[in-house]
Structure 1
Amino acid sequence: MCRSIHTLHNFEPAANDSEIDAAALQYVRKISGTTRPSRANAEAFERAVQEVAHATRHLLEDLVATSPPRDREIEAARAKERSAKRFASAQA
């Protein structure tokens, strides 16, 4: 999975439009194999991004969470800590 795409479900505050759009763009880039489509493919590429973002919004609205929402700041701190441990051991 592309490392730029992060979990958007069950966070407080909820994912905003820019996060959803960024995830959709990364997904389309990944499956198309290009970060910048040719002019001939630009319209299809952009349409795919919009459709993926639209479907993502519907999915996030419809999902039911059984656990309490996670805090974005706490999760970001945990990820930073995991990264520091992983890269510290690689340098040792």
Structure 2
Amino acid sequence: MCRNIHQLHNFEPAATDDEVHAAALQFVRKISGSTKPSQANQDAFNRAVEEIAHISRHLLEDLVTTAPPKNREVEAEKAKARSAKRFAAA
């Protein structure tokens, strides 16, 4: 489940609210062990996603780095290359 959580820090343009929310959703799914909570747990699940997204946004805003911002397309190509190498037929 957590393979969909990607690094969001130090990209230009900065991570969108949708990206932060998607990462928070994947995190909550992982720690709860549920991709779709029951109706009894839906409110707690949604609240956790919103709170984690909120604090994640603050974290991203507060982090400081001297490294140049990363390019999303370049990083995606690197990830594809790693995946192709990892899953290449042996």
- 2:43 is the alignment partner of 1:43: yes
Cα distance between partner residues in 2 of 1:46 and 1:52: 10
* TM-score, scaled to structure 2: 0.96
* TM-score, scaled to structure 1: 0.94
Identity percentage of aligned residues: 71
Cα distance between partner residues in 1 of 2:10 and 2:32: 28
Report the AA paired with residue 79 of structure 1. A
Gaps of 5+ in 2: none
Cα distance between partner residues in 2 of 1:60 and 1:6: 13
Structure having the higher strand fraction is 1
Number of residue-to-residue matches in the alignment: 90
Residue-by-residue CA offset, 1:22-78 (whole Å, 9 max, x unaligned): 000000000000001111100000000000000000000000012001100000011
Structure 1 stretches of at least 4 aligned residues deviating more than 4 Å after TM superposition? none
Q: CA RMSD in A?
A: 1.1
SS of alignment partner, residue 57 of structure 2: helix
Tell me which residue corresponds to 2:17: 17
Tell me which residue corresponds to 1:32: 32
Cα distance between partner residues in 2 of 1:87 and 1:32: 29
Report the AA paired with residue 18 of structure 1. D
Cα distance between partner residues in 2 of 1:87 and 1:49: 32
